[in-house]
Amino acid sequence: MAHKYVYLFSEGNANMRELLGGKGANLAEMTNIGMPVPQGFTITTEACTQYYEDGRKINDEIQAQIMDLMMELKTKMNTAIILVTHDLGVVANFADRIQVMYAGEVVERGTTKEIFNESKHPYTWALLRSVPRLGSESKEELYALGGTPPDLLLPLNHCPFADRCEYCMPICKECKPKETVLSDTHKVSCWLMHEKAPKVESFYDRRDK
């Protein structure tokens, strides 16, 4: 049977089967890869919550059990968890804060409520559009972002999302935007935040039509 990778641990963490009272043993093989991380943190990636080692997709029921185990881990070990994923649906009821990254750069950061209900960056909107809507009456087709990411081996002196952004302006391909502070917890790096930028139809405007 294929092993299921659930957590990436720092060296020296307690045996997870003992910590969880054997609950995890029937669900997953807890794997310590010896990844050095700051004390008090546990890092897990998208692969840990969505795929088996052999590449097969984990079903929704198993995924939910994995997320429950991670919450129990967080409580029993009094640790923070950094979850790296493209699936905002997974973190909706899990994360306290979200940082949206594109091409290795943070483009928006905020509380879970701010990112889901008040996001401002087009890449964040694209991620939200790819999440199925609960209670939707129609079988709407999920959004797929076109284009390709930038070559990170080349210098990137402009907005990294410019070539894939439907709101792209000339300035976006000339220089990077500064981070705009929207609140103590919500910040975004996008030229749409500039006072002279045109008003655009946001993800929320389209969703609510």
Domain ranges of the chain: 16-85, 98-207
Instruction: Report pLDDT for 136.
Output: 54
Instruction: Report pLDDT for 34.
Output: 40
Instruction: Report pLDDT for 41.
Output: 52
CA angle (24, 65, 21) in 5-degree steps: 25
Q: Which residues of the chain have pLDDT under 70?
A: 1-60, 62, 133-142, 208-209
Instruction: Report pLDDT for 45.
Output: 55
Residues in the chain: 209
Instruction: Report pLDDT for 120.
Output: 96
Cα–Cα distance list, 139 to 60, 130, 133 (Å):
19, 13, 10
| Euclidean distance between CA atoms 42 and 168, whole angstroms | 37
Specify the pTM. Answer: 0.74
Please state whether beta strands 80-84 and 41-45 pair in parallel, antiparallel, or not at all (unpaired): parallel
